[in-house]
Chain A
Amino acid sequence: MLEISALSARYGAVTALTDVSLSVENKQIVSLLGSNGAGKSTLLGCVTNSIPATKTGSITLDGEEISALPTDAIIARGLVLVPEGRQLFAELTVEENLRMGAYGLDRGRRWRSDLERVYALFPKLVERRQQIAATMSGGEQQMVAIGRAMMARPRIVLLDEPSLGLAPLLVREIFKLIEEINREGVTVLLVEQNARQALRIAHRAYVVEKGRITLSGSAERLMEEHNVVEAYLGEA
């Protein structure tokens, strides 16, 4: 579904990604593992064309080249990013935040039924619908961020470190939600430092180090791979 080949990216003279190739098949969960500064967020920024990096290489969605498209056109094709650190609209309510998620869609009233769908997915948000986003806990904010992405009716969701800064219990809950979204037919590209959890729910995974893909394969295989355990599972 999403095909990245020979992608390189740099900020000015600083190289962030070198010759990265990665593919995400329809309806799968693919995890991208790597430590801080490995280039994970840059990769997602390149795919959504939302960062000021210079890039070369090809990014296709369902066979169509999207690397030169503006962000809004990419979203309209069903690819949505949940950015690192939630990035909610701090002074808007939960419901207004969710509604913004449907901004790129039609201008009609369809967002109301989408809203009900998102509330069904996140029942906890129903009673919080009028709460100002900034006053919520990290876990709740992450739910709003994912719910907001779901409002855009994505076919593929890119999640950037959804477990960052959350207590272990909440991390488990967030990962359960990701699996649920996937069961509903949404493809997921999951970027994580929390390798153990990310591998547990993924079909396949990639490891990125210093801007290069150094390891890839089925999640089970990577789970057994000695290097991965040593490099990433230790810190989780």
Chain B
Amino acid sequence: MIPQLVVSGLALGSIYALLALSLVLINKATDVVNFAQGEMAMVGTFVCFTLLARTGLPLVIILVLAVPIGGLIGIVTERVTMRPLQSAPPINSLIATIGLWMVFHHGAGWIWGYDPVRFPSLFSPNPVNILGARVAENSLGIVGVSFLVVAVLYVFFEYTRAGIAMRAASMNRRAAQLMGVNIGRVSLTAWGLATAISVVSGLLVAPLTFLDFDIMFAVLLKAFAGAILGGFNSLVGAVVGCLVIGVIENLFAAYISASFKDTFAFAIIIAVLMVRPQGLFTRQIAKKV
């Protein structure tokens, strides 16, 4: 029982991890916490759903198309709502993302209706044997897709010009600007990339439940808990934090209480912020004056 719970917990956790990566990515690049990230993922997932229903393309193609679809949603949102606030205090942008949350949330209900729809899964729920433990193929598939996304992201940040520029800008925006990094483009890239990743997380979670306009709320909550556990400024920390959250959530639901499994994410957020606000995995780097 425990190995299954751990593996399906890792699968859940890796879905949270993708959304958490989106949150941390935008926050590192632009100092904005994008509360609308879950809703943007939901809208992207609905666009994919419509595309699937209209064209009948194979699901794996839809999964690939989710990247440009999400990227476009992110880029347009950045240009229309964040760019005009560029020189305003960050709190303005943060409140704007709460507004975006409502716009996307109710906009989706208005366009696609309020009833849940079934979303087909890429992977079968049949169990496979791994090292003597029977785990669902589904869980392995989710972990695999997430791992692929993380690997691509790693290569982007370590080896590409745009990726290195983004890392530099997140460490010292003014210095990056003085090196010729275009800060506007960094923000645009961050929103595009983050939203693309978040739509992938939407596509992974939709087959597990049903697709409706509320689908990402619990995921966003868990992603926040995982990201905060990881210190909210480390991409690696966010992934590890979310995997921990996914596994604990599953064990908690199985052995303690299934109805309180969402509350516990809040408990983790509060506990981490009280006891160790820099996160469990981040060294506290003293700010040089």
Known A-B contacts A100-B164, A103-B161; A90 and B171 likewise in contact (beta carbons under 8 Å): yes
Binds B, one of A57-65, A69-77, A112-120, A123-131: A69-77
Check A87 against B180 for contact (C-beta < 8 Å).
no
Asked if A173 is an interface residue, CB under 8 A from chain B, the answer is no
Complex partner residue of A90 from B87, B172, B177, B179, CB under 8 angstroms: B172
Contact A71-B168, Cβ < 8 Å, known A52-B87, A90-B285, A103-B161: no
Shortest Cβ gap from A232 to chain B (Å): 24
With A83-B174, A87-B174 already in contact, the answer to whether A100 and B161 are too (CB < 8 A) is: no
For A96, give the chain B residue with the smallest CB separation. Answer: B164
Kindly state whether residue A226 has any CB partner on chain B within 8 Å.
no
Q: Mark A88-104, 1 if CB is under 8 A from B, else 0.
A: 11111000100111011
Q: State whether A70 touches B182 (Cβ < 8 A).
A: yes
With A and B bound together, what is the CA distance between A105 and B168 in angstroms?
A: 16
Chain B: CB-nearest residue to A48: B178
The reply to whether the CB of B165 lies closer than 8 angstroms to some CB of chain A is yes
Chain B residues, CB < 8 A from A103:
161, 164-165, 168, 179-181
Q: Are B168 and A87 in touch, CB under 8 angstroms? A: no
Count, chain A residues at interface, CB 8 A: 28
Residue of B nearest to A145 (CB): B175
The reply on B176 being an interface residue by CB < 8 A is: yes
- Please provide the chain B residues from 131 to 183 with a CB less than 8 Å away from any CB of chain A in the complex: 161, 164-165, 167-168, 171-172, 174-182
Determine whether the beta carbon of A134 is less than 8 Å from that of B288: yes
A30 within 8 A of B: no
Of A50, A71, A76, A89, the contact of B172 (CB 8 Å cutoff)? A89
Q: Interface extent on B, as a size class?
A: 10 to 19
Q: How far is the CA of A71 from the CA of B176 in the complex (A)?
A: 10
Give CA–CA (A48, B175) in the complex, Å. Answer: 12
Number of A-B contacts (CB under 8 A): 69
CB-CB under 8 A for A100 and B174, given A70-B182, A90-B288: no
A-chain residues with CB within 8 Å of residue B180 when the two chains form the complex: 71-72, 75-76, 103-105, 152
Q: B167 — which chain A residues lie within 8 A by C-beta? A: 89, 92
Whole-angstrom distance between the Cβ of B83 and the nearest chain A Cβ: 14
The residues of A that contact B87 with a CB separation of less than 8 Å are 52
Give Cα A23 to B161, complex, Å: 36
The smallest beta-carbon distance between B37 and chain A, in angstroms, is 25
Q: Taking A52-B87, A91-B171 as contacts, is the C-beta distance between A83 and B161 under 8 angstroms?
A: no
**Cα distance A152–B179 in the bound complex, in angstroms:** 8
Determine the chain A residues whose CB is within 8 A of the CB of B164 once the complex forms: 96, 99-100, 103
Most buried by A among B168, B177, B180: B180
Residues of B within 8 A of A7 (CB): none
Residues from chain B with a CB closer than 8 A to the CB of A92 are 167-168, 171
Q: In the complex, A126 Cα to B251 Cα: how many Å?
A: 52
Residue-wise interface mask of B (58-101) relative to A, using a CB-CB cutoff of 8 A (1 in contact, 0 not): 00000000000000000000000000000100000000000000
**A81 CA to B175 CA in the complex, in Å?**
9
Which residues from B are CB-within-8-Å of A91?
Answer: 171, 285
Task: Give the chain A neighbours of B175 by CB distance below 8 A.
Answer: 83, 87-89, 100
Instruction: Specify which of B178, B180, B182 lies most central, judged by the most chain A CB atoms within 10 Å of its CB.
Output: B178
A40 within 8 A of B: no
Query: Inside 8 A of A52's CB, which chain B residues have their CB?
Result: 87
Chain B, Cβ-Cβ closest to A151: B179
**9 residue pairs, one from A and one from B, having the closest CB atoms:** A104-B180, A87-B175, A72-B180, A75-B180, A103-B179, A89-B171, A89-B168, A100-B179, A100-B168
B binding-site residues for A, Cβ under 8 Å: 87, 161, 164-165, 167-168, 171-172, 174-182, 285, 288
Q: A52-B87, A89-B172 are in contact. List 12 more A-B contacts (CB 8 A).
A: A48-B178, A71-B178, A71-B180, A72-B180, A88-B172, A88-B175, A89-B175, A90-B285, A90-B288, A103-B164, A103-B181, A152-B180
